[in-house]
Structure 1
Amino acid sequence: MLEFTNTDYTGRKTLFVEVILPLAIAKNYTYRVPYEMNAQVAVGKRLVVQFGKSKLYTAIIAAIGEQAPEKYEAKYLVDVLDDQPVVNELQLKFWEWMAAYYLCHTGEVMNAALPSALKLASETKIVLNKDYEIDRAALHDKEYLIVDALEIQPELTVSDIAKLLGQKTVMPILKLMFEKNLISISETVNDRYKPRKRTFIKLNPIYYQQDQLKELFEILERRAPKQADVLLAYINLSRNGQQVSRNELVEASGASTAIIKSLVEKEILIAEEVNVSRLYDDSEIDIDTGVVLSEEQQEALDSMRRQFEEKDVVLLHGITSSGKTQLYIKLIEDVMARGKQVLYLLPEIALTTHAIERLRKYFGEDIGVYHSKFNDNERVEVWQKVLNGSYKVVLGARSSVFLPFADLGLIVVDEEHETSYKQFDPAPRYNARDAAIYLGAMHQAKVLLGSATPSIESYFNAQTGKYGFAELKNRYGGVELPQIEVVNIAEESKRKTMQSHFTSVLMTDMQEALDKKEQVILFQNRRGYAPVMLCRTCAYTPKCINCDVSLTFHKSSGKLHCHYCGYKEDSPTVCPACGSAHLEYKGFGTEKVEDELSILLPDARIMRMDMDTTRSKNAFQNILNDLEEKRIDILVGTQMVAKGLDFADVTVIGIINADSLLKYPDFRANERSFQMLAQVSGRAGRRGKQGKVVIQTYDPEHRVIRQVIENDYADLYRNEISERKTFKYPPYYRMIQLDVKHKDPDLLYQQAEYLAGELRKHFGERVIGPEQPLISRIRNYYIRTINLKFERDSISLNKVKEAIRAVVLQYETTKLSKGSIVQPDVDPY
């Protein structure tokens, strides 16, 4: 590794730059700097470099020096793209740590960290930005040529554009076109961002004078009394200078939009369509910024402030609706007062969109949002604003840990237990919660972990004194925890009181909620219509051609889908195996629940929230808006509905089949089941009304269900920690998983056995396997898994990883390894 240096190179020195390429290569590559570019190079700037015979890539300068590489002749770099670095040196150190900890390459970390627009390569596909009106007169000659070519052929690679212009590098030109919003990367086109629009109503200024307004009222009351009602409603709503949306005016006046339209046509009212925001609408947020903390909250806040003087990480264990967010805000205010930056992590994009509404009122323009549903240009814009310090608070999903923070003071990891913080594919397979703790240490920032159902590891760290600990045991405002009723599906089935998948108890509670104009959320942790299609004659089940899984039927498309690789096929009408017409669907997902509920409760307005209905960028936010504005009576969803939602009129929660969670073959099954059931239950009765939760199950005596009913996390922890110690699982042991993949199952068997044998030479009985995982083929690759378990305290994890790297490298040099892929996963949970 070359030494970092800030020397001002202006003379004719021969300089070399060590660069990170966005590729899975084991070492950084070194390039020679042309003399005329000496003054332009700096650590963190992007370069255009040639790698391989002809491909061009965007690389990041990791170090600058005067030492040529010994083993190969350094090529000249092609161009310097930036005036100022886009990555700071702390980030580069963070990338190095992540590559070392998660057993991957720095280039893979770079690939995950940088928005695509900052890492163009020869094969990157470019398209015109259709949402942008291009002023051709303002284009330079080369930009004009590119725009013309893209109008003829909608998609071109960077290499195509280089040939078109007859020059080797076109990346500086494309960089400028990105900044001007002229072009986009094709992969993001389907998720193009369109801002939400709201229509706001205001009074024509000519009626501001009291006597003119009074005269107008008298005329309207005589000629159009309904219009007079609308005007009166508008005046009441706008009394404190508040903006009034058309929807609010319709609701407050009870009038139709046609009446409001006629007032606009008469120029009494003025309608304005406004882009309210990418993710939130300030007019709809009703948060008291001067909220008074409860006595319990104040005690927890004071405790956390004291503990942060001695500890870098504090765990806040607060039951659902206990007001954890208010404490986060207080701590964020403390840090902002010191002029430092804050990262607020949430596990899902879905939660991010909801949380921004709650936080925007407190922090105004100082808060930025970052997640993968942003298109490429937007992500670069956020990146630049964090880099130049425009955003003091960043709210985002797991990828936000990669942003170019210069001076972090606090990282909040909300719902720290969530599996969504873990990246499973591709590398780096990192956990954003753990990465945030390391990032906090680098910046000398404090880290606050918050959850109603903490992970066993975090709670263990708090109980053993590694982390600080604070607790909120009561709901904010004295709101009672929901009443939980467990219903035995088997008994109701015997009594024939089940209606489709719904017990009589759940049906009664839903109907009562609807009668009271209250709302219902139903949770089913499986999407699609039916997970299995079965021939009653020969028991044939359609399977994915690429993966070892049965296909799920989706009624909306009429096709069978694979949820692992995306394969689809038409749903057969007769059995392909025996020709029988007796095909039936087994099991049920959210789509079937929605479908059958619409038959049982025909007057209810039902909406579904799962991966299928929230694919587009603003779909999740639109569903939330509809729920908030009571355009939805029953929301059916997967785990998306379990997290962070806070609505006043949701009083009934139905968990349709708790057994699908409890019976999963995983050492974390009980922990995850408790977390999911408790989080879903926590959505009920959050604003003054006690909610009701109905848990449908075949096993009502299950220990976890009892713990959920009693809200007894401590009992769950005692049981789980005892089992973890006995069977050598985290937090007492660390785990590393190696997935070996190959398209030939027989060769794979030999490869996995050989690799496991080599690992046993170093680690003995700590190596478990190779074994066939639950799903043994995905995307035509067969998989065998090797697990390694290491004592947490008595062995050096760094030395373990060095040995694993060496064994894998040695394996990859053998002829036996041909065609195989080895994927390490550190902390695979």
Structure 2
Amino acid sequence: MIVQVIVDIPAAQVNRTFDYQVPAKWQSIIQLGIRVQVPFGRRQLLGFVVGMDDTTLFSGELKEITGVLDYVSFLNPELIELSEYLAGNLHAFRISVLQAMLPNMLKVKYENIFIINDLQKFQTMTLEFAEQLMYGPEIEFQKLTLEAILPGQLIKEMIQAEVIELEYRVLNQTTHKKIPYLKPLLNFEDMQAIVEKQGKRSPKQVQLLTYYLANYPLMWEEAPLNEVAKRSGVSTATIKSVIDKGWFERQERQVYRDPLANQERHSTTARALLPEQAIAFNAVKDAITAERNETFLLEGVTGSGKTEVYLQLMAHARQRGEAAILLVPEISLTPQMVARVTERFSTGVAVLHSGLSTSEKYDEWRRIIKGEATIVVGARSSVFAPLDKLGLIIIDEEHETTYKQADNPRYHARDVALWRCQYHQCPLVLGSATPSLETRSRAEVGRYTLLKMEARVNQAPLPPVEIIDMTQMAVRETSNEFSPLLKEKIRDRLEKKEQIVLLLNRRGYASYLLCRECGYVLECPRCDISLTYHKHDHKMKCHYCDFQQNIPRNCPQCQSTHLRTFGLGTQKVAETLEELYPDARVIRMDNDTTRRKGQHEKLLKQFAEEKADILLGTQMIAKGLDFEKVTLVGVINADTSLNLPDFRAGEKTFQLLTQVAGRTGRGRFAGEVLIQTYNPEHYVMQFAKQHDYEKFFYYEMKRRHIGNYPPYFYTTLISVSSKNLANAQEKIYEIKANIYNQQSSNSDLLILGPSKGPVARINEYYHFQLMLKYKNKKLVQSQLNEILTASQQDLQQGLRVSIDHEPLYFI
């Protein structure tokens, strides 16, 4: 048997399959997608089996694989095929794509251990090898040790029979969670006799035995030890004593780590759908039933009930024995969405997002592979969940930039979902109140099916929006954080015991520290950007490379003590709120307050339980949150993202304002929105005021057409970075010259740049970029392949060259 292997070297020279011979002892256990150890040059490397055959085109003598790391594949044939497509389409190395699909548990250093689940069966099946086997106290074997003694086929049979299992144990970290169980070894009569004999001696032991007798036969099988101790009212020391006497046996049982263990669940049932919801549901349901690959754009205003449509569609897919994936853009959205899914589906739901520990992700992945979870909810990487029979993929808030991977491989979850839905012949639903222009334009020309939901579930109108001109506030020298009207509205809501959401898309206390004597601004020594003042930590921090330093007492340039902070951040606004409204309870949500695991859920739960009056945060609070008593939304500074050097700046700002405006008026209380801006007449502000996505779409499309930007043109960003400024600059001009020389006569290719990156230096690397705009993807394919091929040699010279198709990040 011969296998095609992708080896673990992200380099152009080895970005292909290599054939290896499979020794006879492993031929019965080799599968597509498993990881193997192979000799490569003088090294032993990890590799992925992506093909199997009986012949090879290689004329020389094939090397043999030297190890099999898995007995169960973590990548099904579909994902293997998908990896080949993505590698070619993204100009990425295939090994990088394969590793992006897997949970981190399978990427890091590990040791492989075989755990014996059934010692009696194990001894029976390995009787002829008994003299060579030594059982340790934990009844486990190092993988290499057991494989040196037993044939591979026998190991495979024992795994299938669940006699043993292979555990991937991260060094210094337990991989499989185990909890102790207690099992009685006495029968009912013997236990009763001991109770009578003991009398008043050992009262706690008698108490435990009496508990078991009272609950016979329910407790007679093994039960969680801690649960027994709690219910019987005895200590673990008492339990240890009865184990020592041989009355009970302590066992350990492997359990999955449950990321939802602390979540309160209240089962819900499907609600009656409103007419617009029913139309959308039936259209997608028909596609699921007919196994038709069709992409739907569900454009529904905030509060129109898109989530209920999602839930009923997933229920329909599950009734047909099919799986479903629901993607959400932000970890902060996941708690509420996961709660709604698990309340509707009591079992079979897996959660995958960056807030889980490495071990929790691994356990969720195993549940999916074993078919124990058929509904997957999570962020971007969840689109790779190895579900065998997909009936539906849903991408909520499809316009969000977080669906695009920022580093290599730079895939977009929507493109992966389109491919997988075509593979399974099932529908894809893209949901949003403010779809991306690319998605909406495809619906306009009929490539996607447009479904609209223009009414809120509670039949209430969208909240009125008032634009506040902050230039007038500056003239009057009032507080630059809050206008008088916003302060008055906040006070009014606090008196009514209602809740408030305030958005400021900039964390920290102040944007920068300025010397009033000489004008010096404290900058990051590694990046060409000013440091942000964080008052709580008493630090100056760089939000690009995470450089930190203490706040200087004197100006580094002129030694003056007249240093002053300028600009706004969430920390400073929170402090101002405490000064203005000392009795108000404020929750601040940004990257600084939500770094610890579970903080998103904890803070949102506090707000949901009305333990806080004001929720202040960055864009993470703008989407997907549903709190009935929120009657006021205030945007502190709507211009934060409006003037960025990004052709999508207007679109992103409009989407953000529309989304945060939708957080109010969702229940029986009417809502109101105040947007503070220094550009009140800007078209984005005016369309946001009217909640008019349609007019915004057509206006923005005209601007894109004039500028030759997506969706009228494809775009590719080529970036070069190096610690040597001259080398980076020389390389980017060399790339442009090569492309231009081969495409000079082609008017369908536009080249912008080279130019410095918006932040010219980040973490001591100088950045230059080149933007290609073109109508035909095949036009630049060969040139981009050449750049990818040369990138390894460039890397050896200290140059990082990257290719990003349809870039969403320019800073």
Give the TM-score taking structure 2 as reference length.
0.80
How many angstroms apart in 1 are the aligned matches of 2:763 and 2:165?
37
Match of 2:590 among 592, 603, 610: 610
What letter is aligned with 2:460?
Answer: V
Are the equivalent residues in 1 in contact too, given 2:718–2:802 (CA < 8 A)?
A: yes
Equivalent runs, 1:8-87 vs 2, <5 Å: 15-21=2-8, 23-24=10-11, 25-51=14-40, 53-54=42-43, 56-57=45-46, 59-67=47-55, 70=58, 74-87=62-75
Are the equivalent residues in 2 in contact too, given 1:22–1:110 (CA < 8 A)?
A: no
Number of the residue aligned with 1:482: 463
Could you say what the CA RMSD is over the residues aligned between the two structures, in angstroms?
Answer: 3.2
User: In the alignment, does 2:337 pair up with 1:355?
Assistant: yes
**CA positional deviation for 1:277:** 5.9
- Deviates further, 486-495 or 704-713: 486-495
**CA positional deviation for 1:763:** 2.9
User: In the alignment, does 2:380 pair up with 1:384?
Assistant: no
The alignment partner of 1:730 has SS state of coil
Give per-residue Cα distances to partners, 1:144-199, cap 9 Å, x unaligned: xxxxxxxxxxxxxxxxx99xx9xxxxxx9xx99x989895467x99x99999xxxx
**CA positional deviation for 1:775:** 0.9
User: In the alignment, does 2:751 pair up with 1:767?
Assistant: yes
Number of the residue aligned with 1:204: none
Q: Which runs of 5+ in 2 are unaligned?
A: 113-134, 149-154, 180-232, 234-255
How many angstroms apart in 1 are the aligned matches of 2:603 and 2:33?
41
User: In the alignment, does 2:59 pair up with 1:96?
Assistant: no
The alignment partner of 2:758 has SS state of coil
User: In the alignment, does 2:783 pair up with 1:803?
Assistant: yes
Number of the residue aligned with 1:467: 448
How many angstroms apart in 2 are the aligned matches of 1:383 and 1:817?
36
**CA positional deviation for 1:818:** 2.7
Number of the residue aligned with 1:137: 137
Give per-residue Cα distances to partners, 1:252-273, cap 9 Å, x unaligned: xxxxxxxxxxxx9xxxxxxxxx
What letter is aligned with 2:618?
Answer: T
Identity of aligned residues (%): 34
**CA positional deviation for 1:374:** 1.7
What letter is aligned with 2:24?
Answer: Y
Assess, with a 3 A threshold, how the Cα gap between structure 1 residues 67 and 770 changes in structure 2: closer, same or farther: farther
How many angstroms apart in 1 are the aligned matches of 2:778 and 2:40?
31
Are the equivalent residues in 1 in contact too, given 2:490–2:632 (CA < 8 A)?
A: yes
What letter is aligned with 1:585?
Answer: T
Assess, with a 3 A threshold, how the Cα gap between structure 1 residues 382 and 802 changes in structure 2: closer, same or farther: farther
**CA positional deviation for 1:447:** 0.1
**CA positional deviation for 1:812:** 6.1
Number of the residue aligned with 1:245: none
Match of 1:369 among 335, 348, 351: 351
Assess, with a 3 A threshold, how the Cα gap between structure 1 residues 471 and 750 changes in structure 2: closer, same or farther: same
**CA positional deviation for 1:566:** 1.3
Assess, with a 3 A threshold, how the Cα gap between structure 1 residues 93 and 497 changes in structure 2: closer, same or farther: same
How many angstroms apart in 2 are the aligned matches of 1:481 and 1:666?
29
User: In the alignment, does 2:298 pair up with 1:319?
Assistant: no
Match of 2:797 among 808, 813, 818: 818
**CA positional deviation for 1:301:** 2.5
Number of the residue aligned with 1:504: 484
Match of 2:639 among 629, 640, 659: 659
Give per-residue Cα distances to partners, 1:89-126, cap 9 Å, x unaligned: 100011111111111011111221111222345xx699
How many angstroms apart in 1 are the aligned matches of 2:265 and 2:78?
39
The alignment partner of 2:50 has SS state of strand
Give per-residue Cα distances to partners, 1:481-532, cap 9 Å, x unaligned: 112111111212333443x511111111111111111111110001111121
**CA positional deviation for 1:799:** 5.6
The alignment partner of 1:529 has SS state of coil
Assess, with a 3 A threshold, how the Cα gap between structure 1 residues 637 and 381 changes in structure 2: closer, same or farther: same
What letter is aligned with 2:321?
Answer: G
Assess, with a 3 A threshold, how the Cα gap between structure 1 residues 528 and 73 changes in structure 2: closer, same or farther: farther
**CA positional deviation for 1:479:** 2.1
**CA positional deviation for 1:142:** 5.8
How many angstroms apart in 2 are the aligned matches of 1:602 and 1:801?
61
**CA positional deviation for 1:734:** 0.5
What letter is aligned with 2:106?
Answer: L
**CA positional deviation for 1:803:** 3.1
What letter is aligned with 2:387?
Answer: F
Number of the residue aligned with 2:662: 682
What letter is aligned with 1:651?
Answer: T
Match of 1:726 among 677, 693, 706: 706
How many angstroms apart in 1 are the aligned matches of 2:9 and 2:383?
18
Assess, with a 3 A threshold, how the Cα gap between structure 1 residues 495 and 539 changes in structure 2: closer, same or farther: closer
How many angstroms apart in 2 are the aligned matches of 1:339 and 1:512?
52
Number of the residue aligned with 1:562: 542
Assess, with a 3 A threshold, how the Cα gap between structure 1 residues 18 and 595 changes in structure 2: closer, same or farther: same
Are the equivalent residues in 1 in contact too, given 2:259–2:351 (CA < 8 A)?
A: no
User: In the alignment, does 2:479 pair up with 1:491?
Assistant: no
Number of the residue aligned with 1:344: 326
The alignment partner of 1:662 has SS state of coil
The alignment partner of 1:707 has SS state of helix
Number of the residue aligned with 1:439: 420
**CA positional deviation for 1:711:** 0.9
Match of 1:113 among 101, 105, 120: 101
What letter is aligned with 2:89?
Answer: Y
How many angstroms apart in 2 are the aligned matches of 1:429 and 1:18?
23
How many angstroms apart in 1 are the aligned matches of 2:563 and 2:504?
24
**CA positional deviation for 1:296:** 2.6
How many angstroms apart in 2 are the aligned matches of 1:56 and 1:103?
23
**CA positional deviation for 1:289:** 1.4
Give per-residue Cα distances to partners, 1:259-317, cap 9 Å, x unaligned: xxxxx9xxxxxxxxxx99624766454x7414111223223323444577676101010
**CA positional deviation for 1:615:** 1.0
Number of the residue aligned with 1:778: 762
Assess, with a 3 A threshold, how the Cα gap between structure 1 residues 374 and 23 changes in structure 2: closer, same or farther: farther
**CA positional deviation for 1:591:** 1.1
The alignment partner of 1:772 has SS state of strand
How many angstroms apart in 1 are the aligned matches of 2:63 and 2:524?
47
How many angstroms apart in 2 are the aligned matches of 1:181 and 1:26?
30
Number of the residue aligned with 1:398: 380
Number of the residue aligned with 2:275: 295
Assess, with a 3 A threshold, how the Cα gap between structure 1 residues 419 and 810 changes in structure 2: closer, same or farther: closer
Q: Which runs of 5+ in 1 are unaligned?
A: 1-8, 10-14, 127-134, 144-160, 166-171, 196-263, 265-274
How many angstroms apart in 1 are the aligned matches of 2:558 and 2:477?
34
How many angstroms apart in 2 are the aligned matches of 1:643 and 1:711?
15
The alignment partner of 2:19 has SS state of strand
What letter is aligned with 1:358?
Answer: R
What letter is aligned with 1:417?
Answer: H
Give per-residue Cα distances to partners, 1:194-245, cap 9 Å, x unaligned: 99xxxxxxxxxxxxxxxxxxxxxxxxxxxxxxxxxxxxxxxxxxxxxxxxxx
Are the equivalent residues in 2 in contact too, given 1:279–1:621 (CA < 8 A)?
A: no
The alignment partner of 1:660 has SS state of coil
Are the equivalent residues in 1 in contact too, given 2:622–2:656 (CA < 8 A)?
A: yes
How many angstroms apart in 2 are the aligned matches of 1:80 and 1:443?
30
Equivalent runs, 1:220-231 vs 2, <5 Å: none
- Deviates further, 762-771 or 687-696: 762-771
Are the equivalent residues in 2 in contact too, given 1:560–1:570 (CA < 8 A)?
A: yes
The alignment partner of 1:575 has SS state of coil
Number of the residue aligned with 1:575: 555
How many angstroms apart in 2 are the aligned matches of 1:48 and 1:422?
32
How many angstroms apart in 1 are the aligned matches of 2:743 and 2:524?
37
